A = this chain, B = another copy of it.
Amino acid sequence: MLLRSNALAILVMLALLLLWEAYCRMSGVTPLVLPAPSDVLRSLYLNAHEISGHALATIGVAALGFSMSVTFAFLTSIALHFTPTLERAFIPVFVVSQTIPLVALAPLMILWFGFGVLPKMLLVILVTFFPILLSLLSGYRQAPRDFLDLMASMGAGRLQRFRRVTLPSARPAFFAGLRISATYAIVATIFAEYAGARSGIGIYILQAKNNFRADLVLSAVVVSAVLTLALLGFLRLIEWWTDPETRRRRHAPA
C-alpha cells in the first residue's frame, strides 16, 4: 500500500538516480568529487557491517533525545496551557532559541557537558522540542468550547476536562508536529555526533571525509535518509495503533 501510493515518487527518484549515474559515466568526473549512485551502493554494501554499527549508535542517541524531547514538550505544554502567563513569558524565549546556529553551539556543548550522551541529547532536544511544543499548544486550543462547557456542566474539574477533552482534541496536531520534528531528529543527531562522539553516522561521515571517500559520505547520507523515513513510518504506525477507532476495533465484542 505504502509502495503503491508512492509508486510515482519512486519512479521519479529512480529517474533522478539514473540521470546522475549517466552523468557520472559520460562526463568521467572523478568519484572523489562525485561518485555515481552505483559506486555509492557498492560501498554501502561493502561497508554495511561497519555502517550499521554506527547507525545503531545514532539510532540510540536519536531515540533517547527524541523521546526526551517529546516528554519535555508534553510536560511543558501542560504547564504553559494551565498558566497563560508562563506561555507569554516563555514562547518568545523558545523562538529565540531556534535562531541559534548549531554550528556555533555544538562545540561549546561538548566543552560544557563532555563526551557522553548528554550534549547530543540536548542538541536533539533543542532542534525538536519547539515544533512539538507549538503543535501541542495549538492542538489544545482546538478543543471545542462546547465540549469543555459540557464537561464543566457535568461537574468535571480542570484536570478531568484536560484529560478527557483537551488532550484527545490535540491528538492530530500533536502527531503532525511529531512528524515535522522527527524529520529533523536524525539529522540533528548526526550533526551533534559530528561535533564530537565515539561512533555514529556523524563520525562515520567525518571519517569518510577525512579519508577522502565521497562515496562513503554519500552512503551515510542514504543511511540517514532511510533512518528518518523509518522513524516517520514508525510514528505513522503508533498514530494508527493509538487511534481510538483502531483500539475500539481490537477490543469491541462485535
Instruction: Write the residues of chain A forming the contact surface with B, with a CB cutoff of 8 angstroms.
Output: 5-6, 8-13, 16, 33-34, 85, 88-93, 95-96, 98-105, 107-108, 111-112, 183-184, 186-187, 190-191, 194, 201-202, 205, 209, 214, 217-218, 220-221, 224-225, 227-229
Contact = CB atoms under 8 A, between A and B. Distances in A.
Nearest to A202: B103
Copies in the complex: 2
A103 B33 contact: no
B205 A101 contact: yes
B90 A12 contact: yes
Contacts of A92: 6, 9-10, 13
A85 B8 contact: yes
30 contacts: A6-B92, A8-B85, A8-B89, A9-B92, A10-B92, A11-B89, A12-B93, A13-B92, A13-B96, A34-B108, A95-B183, A96-B225, A96-B229, A98-B184, A99-B183, A99-B186, A99-B187, A99-B228, A100-B221, A100-B225, A101-B191, A101-B201, A103-B190, A103-B191, A103-B202, A104-B190, A104-B205, A104-B218, A107-B217, A111-B214
